[in-house]
Structure 1
């Protein structure tokens, strides 16, 4: 901690928890703006990306991939079912999620939003830093998730 404090202007700037949450608030604001034209919150849009890329994933697998609790995933899927973007098929205790035709048609608008978000944070951070930061955060998530 001593070494880090010498490299930082204060204890908050040296804290992964604080800086990660601060970054999350900034990027969430950008994402909300970028995904507004989809009519979906960013998290729902990312779920649609997974479901359209690989129809028939189980809710448990979707929870794992998005690092969400199963109860949260159930709420997400129910919301998308109400919007007629996905449907489910239950086999035993396992629920599989598939895109509807309307869900498949929503994908180009979602992809445009994803590009707007990428362009926005690359404009602010520079593409090299944005790509490196994304990779570093992904690697940290992988290690912390074990």
Structure 2
């Protein structure tokens, strides 16, 4: 008796990562709900707080979004009074306001809850290895651009 063929859903990185992203996205939505920010905005705020003065261009690269998307993200965070823009020549730098910095404990707590949630499902060792492997894959794929 021959082995059944694996489906493309098991063998294709594109489809498996998209499915995984939806599962992890739901866990992230639940974890960050208490902060009042969607996970993508929380991710951006963590970068801005942890590394003050990154350029808007660098932030776009770090979270892998187009410049126009980053502009919309920053505009929304400015409306919420969490960040402000500073201009130096052609470069625009983003810094957290005091109100934005005050989000840090809640963002860290939500990040910890997200970590606990996926470790509970996947097992800590597997979750850490998967995260490390995916980060490495992202780094390699980013170098193709």
TM-score bracket, normalised by the shorter chain, equals over 0.9
1:10-29 equivalences in 2 (<5 Å): 10-29=7-26
Unaligned runs of 5+ in 2: none
What is the total number of aligned residue pairs between the two structures?
Answer: 141
TM-score normalised by length of structure 2: 0.93
Q: Is 1:136 matched with 2:133?
A: yes
**What RMSD in Å do the two structures reach over aligned CA positions?**
1.2
Conserved? CA contact 1:88–1:97, under 8 Å:
yes
Q: Is 1:78 matched with 2:75?
A: yes
Q: Partner residue of 1:119?
A: 116
- C-alpha distance in 2, partners of 1:21/1:88? 33
Unaligned runs of 5+ in 1: 1-5
- C-alpha distance in 1, partners of 2:122/2:79? 37
Conserved? CA contact 1:8–1:14, under 8 Å:
no
Q: Report the CA distance between 1:11 and its aligned residue.
A: 2.1
- C-alpha distance in 2, partners of 1:54/1:28? 24
TM-score normalised by length of structure 1: 0.93
Aligned residue for 2:9, secondary structure, equals: coil
Conserved? CA contact 1:51–1:98, under 8 Å:
yes
- C-alpha distance in 1, partners of 2:79/2:113? 27
- C-alpha distance in 2, partners of 1:136/1:73? 26
- C-alpha distance in 1, partners of 2:91/2:5? 49
